[in-house]
Structure 1
Amino acid sequence: MDKDVSHYLGELLIWEIEDYLRARTARPERARVARITVPSRSAAEAVAADLEAGGSFYAAARRALAQGVALPDDLFGVVTRDEHPEVFEAVPGTTLPPKPEGGHFLIIRLVAFES
């Protein structure tokens, strides 16, 4: 019986290692993000400065919306590698610098990659 348990535990360890390596080499095509949309570069820089000072992303979004600096938009969303390739070079938790998009600026925080 002891031999079976150690063999079983060895197989579990191998499966965990394989799962870890597969996750490290996979190239995700979708990512969950939090985002704040603002109408101008100066507004984007003000929100970015607030975030750099250590504020929470959600609190900065609410403040910007209350002050009329942010545009009403969904705070959370999913982006693809084709839409925002720079997101896929970051690690979860990273807030990217403001980026022009259409006639607005977008501040994105990477939450997680989807597999």
Structure 2
Amino acid sequence: MSHYLGELLVWEIEDYLRARSARPERARVARIRVPDRSAAEMVAADLEAGGSFYAAARRAIARGTTLPDDLFGVVTRDEHPEVFEAVPGTTLPPKREGEGFLIIRLVAFET
């Protein structure tokens, strides 16, 4: 198991370094859209406690605190430039977007 995790970490670092030099314009992300700051803080607390992004999304859905959105998607550099400064696997802090908040985890850059 630890060998696999080491390979995964190397892959994430290589993906990040490739993105820094190639400057991709698109990234695959997982996201949770919530209506307000308190819901965003609940999701952030779930994630800080060591839960997986998917499990935090499921709990937020079960609590009825999510807004309609796809769990997985693609974002562009113009839409979310902060994503392109992160390493794959990073969950970004909740960000106000429109009427609610968006929590994004960078999955991978598209090249």
- Structure 2 matches for 1:1-115, cutoff 5 A? 23=18, 25-115=21-111
Structure 1: runs of 5 or more not aligned:
1-19
Q: Which has the higher contact order (CA 8 A, sep 6+)?
A: 2
Query: Bigger shift: 66-75 or 27-36?
Result: 66-75
Structure 2: runs of 5 or more not aligned:
1-14
Return the offset for 1:72.
2.7
Identity of aligned residues (%): 84
Does the residue aligned with 2:40 lie in a helix, a strand or coil? helix
* Preserved contact between residue 65 and residue 72 of structure 1 (Cα < 8 Å): no
TM superposition score normalised by structure 1: 0.79
Cα distance between partner residues in 1 of 2:78 and 2:68: 24
Dislocated runs of 4+, deviation >4 Å: none
* Preserved contact between residue 44 and residue 98 of structure 1 (Cα < 8 Å): yes
Query: Bigger shift: 66-75 or 37-46?
Result: 66-75
TM superposition score normalised by structure 2: 0.81
Q: Tell me which amino acid in the other structure corresponds to 1:33.
A: V
For the pair shown, the structure with the greater C-alpha radius of gyration is: 1
